[in-house]
Structure 1
Amino acid sequence: MKEITRLKEIERRYKALVQDTSLILLLINSEGKILDVNPTALEIYGYKEDDFLDKNYKELDLIPKNKRDSFQILFEDAFKKGSVKPMEFEILSKDGGYYWLSLEGSVVNIRQEPCLQLILQDINERKMAEMRLIEIQNILQDFSSTLEHKIVEKSKELVKSEEKYRALMQSSPNSILLVNRQGIIEDCNDTASIYIGLPKDQIIGRNILNIYSIKHREDAPDKMKIGEIYFPIEFEFTNHKGAKKVLSSNFSMIQLGDEIYTQIVSQEISARKEAEEVIKRELSRLKELDKMKSEFVYRASHELKTPLNSLNVASRTLLNYFHEDLDENISKLLTIIRNNGERLKHLVEDLLDVARIESQKMKITKKQENLTELIKQCGEDMSYFLQKRALSIHWDIAEDLFVQVDKVRFEQVILNLLSNAIKNTPPKGKITITAKETGNFIEIKVSDTGVGITEEEQKLLFKKFGKIER
């Protein structure tokens, strides 16, 4: 009885040790069935206890595929030799993570049955450190082997770079001045000599302020950085031969050897500035002409309204009150006069709107309106034309859409859209009007079953007096 108690105490301590250890512990019988597993194994592999127990280790991804054959040999030898030769390998856990583990084990008897107790340790941090160390060693080795070569090559490149710089400087169509920190010109190219009107030997050694009078700009940086190009300055000066020139100059800091210089690259823009002045004058003249045109269109359209209104009123009066007394041909002619008078009236209104927009005299008077009611009223106003062409109209409009709009202008837009849809939809077609809230906006669509418009025709939609021919 005492022996049983002692064995139970040993088993309890073993269990406690297994549960608390940071090592991975697996107990496998000679058939490969897993008899026991500790919490650390479950955490590392990402499995539940039921996924392990009574399962053959071959059914689980405990050992990577490239190590399974060698592990099987070790597994079989373990029961012959009593232990497993240590090995290291990388595993893929159930959640897709990779871990490096070390493995060793020994055969123990559990209830008179030989079992292989595997002890695995998480060596991921150590392996990562080793791999990083190897990587750093390789990098240092490569760096060390090429450093001397690069120094030699860099020296050659510096010589070539200076030669190229001088060649580029001399062949540049722009003026180039090299100025030291004291403002003294140390080098220049032939173009600079032409711009300034002095030989190179009379330019080199002079202060830049004695050559160009450039005022300080507020947006100029206090400290210029090497390799960065700063603001082009445009300025006018008279060179030493008396010729007036306009230059555009860029400034940059460059390093030649141990010295730092300001490089001033200038381009003559005298012709461009003259062209810009001509363009400004022409633009001003064109704006004035455009203003005169808009005024003329506005006045002419306004003057046309009175006789057109008289013509329309007269033709409507004759047709409404003297229709029975008129000859049929006269009635037809009066109808033509009335219809074309109405068309001219609309054209004149459109011209007036264009003139108002261009002269910024278009007044928009906004009030809180229910767009749902306004859109449906526009549909009713066009009902005659819809019936005439046997068209149906489908409404997909929210019940109440209140917004601040100019009622007259809004109705003008909707009526124009409906009119275009009616004109371009074949008989028995359908027109759909959709209106809904989209964020802070109200989206209104008028679609029809007509032929539509091409991408090229779409470009004409918002052009003044743009028209699509059918």
Structure 2
Amino acid sequence: MDMNDSSLFNTPDKTNFLFNAIPIPCFIWKNLDEEFILFDYNSSAIEKTKHKVEEIKHKKASLIFRDKPSILRNLNRCLEKKVSIKEELPYKPFTLEEKDFLQIYYEYLPPNSVMMFTKSIKKQKEIEKRYFKTGDKYMTLIQNLPLAVYSVFTDVNGTIEFMSKKFEYWTGYTLQELYDDPKLMYNIVHPKDRRRFVDEYIKAFKNKVEYSCEFRIIHKNSEEIRYILDHAIPIFSENGDITKYIGMVIDISEKYYIKKRLEESEEKFRKVAEQSSLGIQIVQDGELKFINEKALEFSGLKKDQVQSFDIKTLAKFIHPDDREKVVNQYNKRIKDSSKKYEPYEFKIVNKEREVFWVESQSKKIIYDDKEAELIILVDITDRKKIEQELKETANLFRSLAEQSSTGIQIVQNNILKYVNQKWADIFELELEDLMNKKASSMQKYIHQDDLEFIKKQMILRKINPEKAKNRYEFRGITSSGKVKWIDIFYKDITYKGKPASFITIVDITDKKHVQNELEQVSKLKSDFLRRITHELKTPLISIKGYADFLLEIYGDELPFDALRIARRINEGTKRLEDLIKELMEASKLESGKIELDLEKEDLVFLIKFTLRELQPLIEKRSHKIHLDLHDSLETFFEKEKIYEVLNNLISNAIKYTPENGDIYIKSEINDHSYIISIKDSGIGFTEVEKKLLFTQFGKIERYGQGLNLDINGSGLGLYISKELIELHEGKIWMESHGRNQGSTFYISIPIRKSN
């Protein structure tokens, strides 16, 4: 059978038919994700390997042939070039019981596979060796050796007596070309190695010794670089001169690349180890073979101080409390055949007497061809400090919780994981009866009128936490049947690594009683204000009517003193009328019975209208008004109510700013509101005075302070303004840096696109 006839495997039918009929072991390697996988094998392979081949089915070729890179190269070359390849090599795969000499054929199998045939030629090689001195067989053996053999004269031209065909494969030149021009051998040597190649040859020739040199050669066509070992022995004439060298050239590329990868791996390991935040040590036969900078930090020593350290010396840097534990662990690992061990923690004390907590993780490795122990030290000092702080915090929390006047509960998966004594006391329960009980069992201590509301909140906390209330009040029922008002607060926390709820309760029963009494007092106050304003309104109308009558009918006839008194009565009734009006409005606002009639209006227009209404007062006080307003600020509000607010704030700025003052009115727009600021250069407010603003009857007394101000007012204006702005879902506030520093009042009105 011709192994090079790939047409045998053109179709699946032929492949299936012939595959198991092939009398020699055959393997199909499929390329998946740039890795060759053993996809299938024939019955001859199973028989030859005594079924061991079944253990490596679907395994990677890179693992199976890691010690034979030539096989990997030929697999890739066969697939890439789509060519047939033949190879002979001594090899002992683990599937065979003894070393064999294999002849391997590689055949491309579309679209992404390679079929490998293996044939044992061990007996053939043994026969060739037996008849080594026989001419034709000797030459055949020479030509098929995995190394190149040559004989070269030491004349000026370096005449070649003999070269094996391996040189053709390695150099790209034919043997005839090399025989005709021996200098071509110099050309194939890598330019960087030529000087050394010549020097080594001349040195050996002068000293009449064997010649040996490692260098690179370059294929003239493919420019493939091959690392070789050239070794030759001199042949002497009768007079002791070297007449020629007989040598052999071995391809050491595989060895070189393995060595280079090992060196690169070792260098990478050292670089990574030196930059690592982990302490790394390698201990072999009780001696320290390697230690990185981080591990040195733990001891406070320099590298040259620990070169000859053994395990007993290193033990001196272990905290006395942990020394015995660490030594026992080390001895245990020496006796244990396991490759990896459980990590453990201990303390290290450096030469400065500083203490570090470390976690030690170790693993057995091969270092310089011998078993050693790789020890990784992780600095866990910060973690230990945090653990200690958490422990102290937990103890502090527990102490505070036990002494707290607030009931505290931690609920996880509907189980009461923690309950303090105060919680038990509020519901008149025994603490031990609550621990690790279901949280739902507490429902029986909730008032029936509040139970549905609380159930709804609990469901919301599970399905839509954003809509659930974190704080609310309800009525609880104690074990003796008492009704208590409870203020409850929820917060989501992590407890022992899992989600949980932190819940606090406060008994507000007494507070509720006081609150109810205050509400009754407030209601009485409101009723009193309504009644007193109504009672004052009737006689006030009569007094004002008579005063107007006297001034209109008899004004020209009254004596000067009587006329002055009548006018004062009239002015007093107007002020009293304004006060009663403000009292009635404050009472309505407090009752919450006012409903707004919102219309789309322009805030800028209303400000300018208010200024026109107050122009006589502005001129009287000789103030300058500075406007910084937008052209238009449209939104929905009740014009009369906002006019009342603007009138109150601007008139206050006019009245409480000494003559010839400056008043600045400015508009701003933020994401959701229009903001109006009214800044004056008046007398400002002290910290005590600020607290009185926006309260009922919070009038600040200016009389008798020598201020040139209009000091009339009820003290209800700012309170009414605040209530009206908040009724529009806006805000009102004030800023002042103190006496004679002026003040700025702000109002914000929501921007509404519709009513």
Interval containing the TM-score (normalised by the shorter chain): 0.3 to 0.5
TM normalised by structure 2 equals 0.32
Larger helix proportion of the pair: 1
TM normalised by structure 1 equals 0.48
Larger radius of gyration: 2
